[in-house]
Amino acid sequence: MRFIIYSISFIFILSCSFNKVVKHHGVHFLEKKHEKLVINSSNKNDVLKLLGEPSTKSTFDNDVWIYIERKVTTGKIYYLGKEKLIVNNVLVLELNNMGLVASKKLYNKNDMNKLTFAENSTDPKYRKRSFVYDFLSSMRQKINDPLGKRKTNN
């Protein structure tokens, strides 16, 4: 009887320890689903039906919808449980003013390594007593003294 219990528990432990856990975030099978979208034919409703709500929306000249798919698993035992990136896809859809897909770009893990970022940055130019400065000062004062009972040193 003990032999059966030990053998069942041994098999259970072995089967569980070899299964890797895959954490999935975003839209499943984004690379396959984006092929079903046709430029100047698919509309917003088709996109929502196929992919669901986008991870991010942007409205500048045209609507830009961004969908993300990411799969991560634990690495080998000698990496001490460090996570390993399996899939990292980003789909950028641009919709025109009529709601049709104007362009679509799929970036995968290899494409993202090739991206370069601009080194230039814009310096903020705030005057000491601008609207933003006054607003943030009043918020800081309300956080520090919510009831307004603290003595001021003015």
| pLDDT tens digit sequence for 26-85 | 889 988 998 999 999 999 999 999 999 988 888 666 689 999 999 988 766 666 667 888
Instruction: Determine the pLDDT at residue 84.
Output: 82
Residue 105 lies in a domain: yes
Residue 131 lies in a domain: no
pTM above 0.75, yes or no: no
Q: How far apart are CA 133 and CA 124, in angstroms?
A: 12
Q: How far apart are CA 85 and CA 148, in angstroms?
A: 51
Residue 122 lies in a domain: no
Residue 29 lies in a domain: yes
Q: How many domains does the chain have?
A: 1
Residue 46 contacts by C-beta under 8 Å, 6 or more apart in sequence?
37
Residue 51 lies in a domain: yes
- Hey, which residues does 63 pair with through a beta bridge? 59, 95
- The residue range of the domain holding 94 is 21-114
Residue 15 lies in a domain: no
Maximum distance among all alpha carbons in the chain?
Answer: 85
Structure-block tokens of residue 58: 């942007």
- Hey, which residues does 84 pair with through a beta bridge? 73
Q: How far apart are CA 102 and CA 37, in angstroms?
A: 11
For β-strands 101-107 and 56-59, DSSP reports them as unpaired
Residue 13 lies in a domain: no
Residue 8 lies in a domain: no
Banded pLDDT at 151 (limits 50, 70, 90): low
